Each structure stands twice: as C-alpha cells, then as structure tokens.
Amino acid sequence: MRHRHLPTVALALGVVVLLDVLRVWLPSIITIFGRAAETPAELLGAFALSWFLLALAAPALVRRLGAGPVGLVAAGLLAAVRLALTAAPGGRPQLWLACAGLLAGLVWLAATAARVDRPVAGLALGLAGAAVGHALLATEDLVWRGGVPGWALSVLLVLAFLAASAASRSPEARQGTPAPTPQDPPADPALRTADEAADAATDGPVAGWTGARAWLLVGPALFVAGQLALAPALWSASYSYRAGSADFPGLGLPPGTASILPACAVGLFLLAALTRTPARLGRVLWPAILLAGAALFAADRPAWLGWAYLLAAVGLGGCLARTDAAPASAVVPGRGAAARRGYAVVGGMLVFAVASVAYYAAYDLGYPNGWVPVGTAALIAGCALTGPAQAAPVLTGYARSLPALLSAVLVLLAGVLPGPARRSAPPATPPAAVRVAAYNIRMGFGLDGRLDLDAVARVVRGARPDVVLLSEVDRGWLLNGGHDTLALLARRLRMPYVFAPAADPVWGDAVLSRYPVRSGRSRPLAAHGAPTGAQALGVTLDLGGRELAVVATHLQPPPGRGPVAQAREVAAFAVRYAAGRPLVLAGDLNTEPGEPAFAAFTTAGLVDALAAARPLPTSPADDPRQQIDHVFVSPDLTAADPRAPRSTASDHLPVAVTVGLP
C-alpha cells in the first residue's frame, strides 16, 4: 500500500471503531442513565449533548500539543475502550466507559482533521465497512459478542486501527501538515503580525472552508447513514413488509430472510462517493436523490422504506464526493486551516448528537420528528450544492479501481447472508391446548444495559410457548444501535413472525407462532394525548382445521392518566376481529387489575387468564411490584399454569399461560 493512502485506511478503521462505541453509548443513555417514561427527555438530552460540547475544546488542545501526539493517544484510548466494552459487565461501568470512548473518538477526529484535508474516502470506506459488518452479523454488533471468534475479530480490528494510525504519522503518509508543536509567541508584535499574515495568505477563508466542508459533514453523514442510508436493519424491516399476502404484508415471514439489495446499496454508495461525476450533473442530481430518500423515510410509509434506503445511500455517497476537494494551493496550509477543520468535525458531530436526541425525544415530548432526517439531509445537500465547481478525484493511482472491486465483493458476500427458512406447517390434528407467552423485551436490552438477545431467547424458550407476543420490538432505531431485534429473535427461536408498526415503521409489536398464520390485520390506536403511538395486531392461526384469533398490543397511557380509551379500542377491535372464533389477547397493557382500563377488557366479555396466579407482578423485573402485563381469553377457552418467570433480560417479566381449546 502506498504511504499516501495510510491516512485514508486509518480514518476508515477509526470510523468503524467509533461506530462500535456509539452503538453502545446511544442505548446506554436510555437504558442505564435513564429509564423509559421515568427520566425526563430534557435531562437525557442534556447529558448526551454535554459530551459533544466538551469536545469543542479538542481543536485547541490539538493546536497546543500537536495533532500527531494527541491523535495517537486518543486513538489508543478509543481502541482500549472498544475492547473494554466487550468485557464490561454492563451497568454504570458500561455507561462511563462508553462516554470515555466517545470523548476519545471526538478528540481523535479533531486531531485527524488537523492532519488530513480530504476525509471523504476514509469516511466512505468506514461507513461501508461498518454497514457490511453489521449485515454479516445479521445487524448484531461485534462489540456485544464474546467468545473466541468475537474477541479475535475485535482485537484484529483495534490492532489494525492502531497500526494504521501509527503508520500514517510518517512524513511519506501525510495529507496536509500536522499542527505545529507549541512555541512561545513572537515577542515583537510586528513578527506576530507577519506570522498571522502568512497564515492568511496560505489558507484564506475560501480555502479554509473548502477544506473544512467535508469534515463538517462527518457527523451528519453518520446520522443519515445509521438512521437510514446504510442501516441493514432498516432493509430487513422493509423486506418484511414486501413478503406475505396482499391484505397483510409481512404475513408469517420466516426467520433468516435476506436480500442482496443491502449489499447493492452499499456498493452504489461507494461508487458514488469515490468516483467523480460531471460537476453540473452531480451538483443537482446527488442532493435531489438524497432529499428524495429522506422524504420517503419521513413519510412513515412502510412500503416506501426500501426505496428510501436505496435512494439515501446513493445520494449520500454522491453528496460526500461533491464536498471533497483538493487543496486550493500547493502551498502548505497554515495552522488556521487545521484549526478550522478541527472545529468543523466537532461541530458536525454536535449536529449528529442534536439530530439523534431530537428524533427520539419526539416519542416522549410528542412533536413530529420527520423533519429531523430531512433537515440533516438538507444540510448535506446544501454543502454539496455549494461545493467546488469541479471536485478532484477522491482516489488516485491503482486505488481508482477500489470502488468497483469492493462493490463486487459486497455482492458476493450477500450470498452468505442467511436465507429464508421454511414456513410453519399446520399440525395433522388440532392440539388440545396452546401455550401462549407475552413479553415486553425492551428492544433486547437487559437491566444491565447490554444487548443480550440470547438471554431473551432463553427466557422465551423456558416458557415452552407455541405463540409469543412481543412488545417494544425495535427493527432499526439508531438510538438503540440499529438492530433488527425481531429477525434476530425469530432466528434464535426458529419461529416465523408477523410485525405491525406502532410508533413508526420500525417500532411496534409482533407475534411469533409455531402454527401457520392465515390472515392478519393491524389497527393504529388513537393517541388520546400519549406521545408514543400504539396499535393492535390481530392474526389468525391455523391449528390444523381449527382457527385461533390472537391479538397483540402495547397500550400507551397519556401522561398522568390510564390507557382506558385505548383499552376500549383494543377490546372492541379484538372482539370484531375474532368474529366468534376463540380469542387470545395479550401484551403490555400498562394497567393493573381493578383499574378502569383493565375493566374495559372484562366488560367486553374477555376473561383474565392469569387470575389463578394473582397477584402476578411483572414490572420492574428486578423488583416486580406492578401487574401490567396480561393475557385475556374468550370465555370458551380455559387457562392453566399461569406463570411469570423471573429474569432480568428485560425490564419486564414475561407472562405465560396454557390455553385449553373448546
């Protein structure tokens, strides 16, 4: 490898490591620092933003101590934290480790910006590499994986990052000039004026902005890529809407579904980011494509997710290429340009933090959040529109063939992704009873704040269910790390699933069943003042000549009130959907026996299937005091063996009951 490409390699590997840390830091804010529906969203946002504001001092630190030493120390700390997070037991140690890693990553970015004037190639390769790794791990992060394979890959990643970072400090590998070592200012004011004049002559406002433009977009690009453009979980969720029947997309989708499109999207992103497009065409085309993808995503239409994913990937790559320009002069840039790039990248990461907090705070504060990805994409598009008249090639020499080579490799890798499993077959004879379990899985995060879907699967398997109803199913939220928890659990449990969106197309409720799903219907529930959306999902199971109607829901009470209005909606929907067939209704209902919302179900003629085990508290999981997870059945069904197995794999306990058929 030529020396001049080492900074690009170091930046790409560093982006992958930093994204690993961010995928731990972001959910730790919710699951460890705060508790959902208890910690004010304003407090969570202030804590999150404070770390990015603290990093605004990083460019000054780099200028005083030198980009080389600061960057190498920060890279070492970032790598050490990355490994420590895999070994961390969760809880407060995980939170503070992730915060330390985030801060080290921001300082490393500022130091790298002082030395590298053209970051697009490294940024694009890093984002693509992270997306491919996430896809190959079925959207599960490497950082959460222990064992010999997980540790070996993690160690190789950080060692490669550190080696590339150290090698890129050599004079042959430098892109731009490292910040000078500290020295006393000139004693003579005239000399100081001359020094400032020399800086101004070699890196004036135009040249400084041209160099800082691409660095400013690092944070917005991370947000758009993680939220939409390069999020394999989003495609996994969108694929489930395309499968199934005409009346209900995603009906009975088998676990392990995959498609070649994620690899194609990443390949097209690389081609757009690392090649040169004619200026007049690219200046209009790439921003338009990116904004179209963001607008489709913001429309909250499940059927449009695939197009949003593909368009945003291509548009993001093209816009990044438009901002990557060679230095305006052959003269070595001065300290001012390096400082501007440092402040640009830290400011861009602050945009990442604000966008992330603003998007998800909407589910606590109740304002429309579709403008957040559109606004972030508009910032990127604006920088591309005002970019240089003709951007220089991002890669030179033999590296020009890299996009085509990587794209071919990605398409080949798509062939090793898990393929569809067989759908369930109806039993030869109808069963006498069906075991039903309902579980609020909190996006797969346990009380320790670690993503542990193996623990969730063990709890579910321990209940020996035939049908599983899940609440708080996350299929791609960046705030939770961008995982498709439903597909991951379905693969572990070997059960086909049906998913219905509630808050948005990748957040909602699901039913997994060993029996075939013949029909389904989803109904959005009125908010009644609650900021988070809710729905009722009804499916019909084929029990071998007999049918069972199952309704899954997660009621969202308005602030200071119970979910009685939603409970009445769900009860009425369930009775109509069952249409005289045996019925099971279950989920996190956020109401206790004796309350009006609980009475709404019994008034509708349903029976409490857990009555024999009352009191049966299910929340919080470590000290259950509230009975808010329930199973109701129609009067023609009998309930036996109700249980709430103890576990801290979520903040709720699951409830399970055997339902005897008439």
Tens of pLDDT along 446-472?
Answer: 999 999 999 999 999 999 999 999 999
Cβ neighbours, 10 Å, residue 418: 13
278 burial level (CB within 10 Å; 0-12, 13-18, 19+)? exposed
Query: For residue 617, is it left (φ>0), alpha (ψ between -120 and 50) or beta?
Result: beta
Residue 622 has pLDDT above 90, yes or no: yes
Q: Assess whether 346 and 458 both reside in one domain.
A: no
575 in any annotated domain: yes
pLDDT at 370: 86
φ, ψ at 421 (rounded to 5°):
-95, 170
CATH number of the domain that 548 lies in?
Answer: 3.60.10.10
Q: Assess whether 524 and 467 both reside in one domain.
A: yes
Q: How far apart are CA 328 and CA 323, in angstroms?
A: 13
Task: Give mean pLDDT, residues 299-320.
Answer: 90
Q: Assess whether 560 and 498 both reside in one domain.
A: yes
Q: Domain limits at 559?
A: 433-660
Q: How far apart are CA 475 and CA 487, in angstroms?
A: 8
Percent of residues, the chain, with pLDDT higher than 90: 61
Task: Give mean pLDDT, residues 593-614.
Answer: 97
pLDDT at 196: 40
CATH number of the domain that 292 lies in?
Answer: 1.20.1250
Q: How far apart are CA 31 and CA 371, in angstroms?
A: 26
Predicted confidence band at 54 (pLDDT cuts at 50, 70, 90)? very high
Highest mean pLDDT among 88-92, 94-98, 396-400: 94-98
192 in any annotated domain: no
Of the residues 384, 414, 444, the one at which a domain ends = 414
461 in any annotated domain: yes
What tokens were used for 98?
A: 């992730």
Highest mean pLDDT among 169-173, 339-343, 652-656: 652-656
Residue 227 has pLDDT above 70, yes or no: yes
- HEC secondary structure over 353-386: HHHHHHHHHHHHHCCCCCHHHHHHHHHHHHHHHC
pLDDT at 413: 55
pLDDT at 170: 59
DSSP letter, residue 253: B
- HEC secondary structure over 394-431: CCCHHHHHHHHHHHHHHHHHHCCCCCCCCCCCCCCCCC
Task: Give mean pLDDT, residues 480-495.
Answer: 92
Q: Assess whether 240 and 369 both reside in one domain.
A: yes
221 in any annotated domain: yes
What tokens were used for 205?
A: 């406002």
Predicted confidence band at 504 (pLDDT cuts at 50, 70, 90)? confident
For 15-32, what is each residue's pLDDT tens digit? 999 999 999 999 999 899
Q: Assess whether 500 and 400 both reside in one domain.
A: no
pLDDT at 472: 95
Of the residues 370, 386, 414, the one at which a domain ends = 414
Q: Residue 221: which of 134, 136, 315, 135 has the closest Cα?
A: 315
For 528-578, what is each residue's pLDDT tens digit? 888 888 999 999 999 998 999 999 999 999 888 889 999 999 999 999 999
Q: Assess whether 548 and 627 both reside in one domain.
A: yes
Q: How far apart are CA 22 and CA 481, in angstroms?
A: 8
Highest mean pLDDT among 66-70, 480-484, 651-655: 651-655
What is the total count of domains within the chain?
2
197 in any annotated domain: no
Residue 642 has pLDDT above 90, yes or no: yes
User: Chain-wide mean pLDDT for the chain?
Assistant: 85
Residue 583 has pLDDT above 50, yes or no: yes
Task: Give mean pLDDT, residues 45-62.
Answer: 94
pLDDT at 352: 97
Task: Give mean pLDDT, residues 429-442.
Answer: 96
Predicted confidence band at 410 (pLDDT cuts at 50, 70, 90)? low
pLDDT at 232: 86
Angle at Cα 32 formed by Cα 31 and Cα 34, nearest 5°? 75
Q: Assess whether 174 and 317 both reside in one domain.
A: yes
For 188-224, what is each residue's pLDDT tens digit? 444 344 334 433 433 444 444 566 889 999 999 999 9
Q: Assess whether 331 and 450 both reside in one domain.
A: no
Q: Assess whether 366 and 444 both reside in one domain.
A: no
Predicted confidence band at 420 (pLDDT cuts at 50, 70, 90)? very low
580 burial level (CB within 10 Å; 0-12, 13-18, 19+)? exposed
Least confident of 7-16, 241-250, 530-539: 241-250
419 in any annotated domain: no
Residue 640 has pLDDT above 90, yes or no: yes
190 burial level (CB within 10 Å; 0-12, 13-18, 19+)? exposed
Q: Assess whether 646 and 530 both reside in one domain.
A: yes
Q: How far apart are CA 635 and CA 584, in angstroms?
A: 10
195 in any annotated domain: no
Q: Assess whether 380 and 475 both reside in one domain.
A: no
For 32-42, what is each residue's pLDDT tens digit? 998 766 778 78
Q: Assess whether 619 and 577 both reside in one domain.
A: yes
Q: Residue 283: which of 150, 386, 170 has the closest Cα?
A: 386
pLDDT at 389: 57
Given a contact cutoff of 8 angstroms between Cβ atoms, the answer to whether 470 and 441 are in contact is yes
pLDDT at 369: 86
Of the residues 381, 414, 447, the one at which a domain ends = 414
Task: Give mean pLDDT, residues 100-119.
Answer: 94
482 in any annotated domain: yes
Predicted TM-score (pTM) of the model is: 0.89
- Please state the length of the chain: 662
Given a contact cutoff of 8 angstroms between Cβ atoms, the answer to whether 289 and 320 are in contact is no
Given a contact cutoff of 8 angstroms between Cβ atoms, the answer to whether 235 and 263 are in contact is no
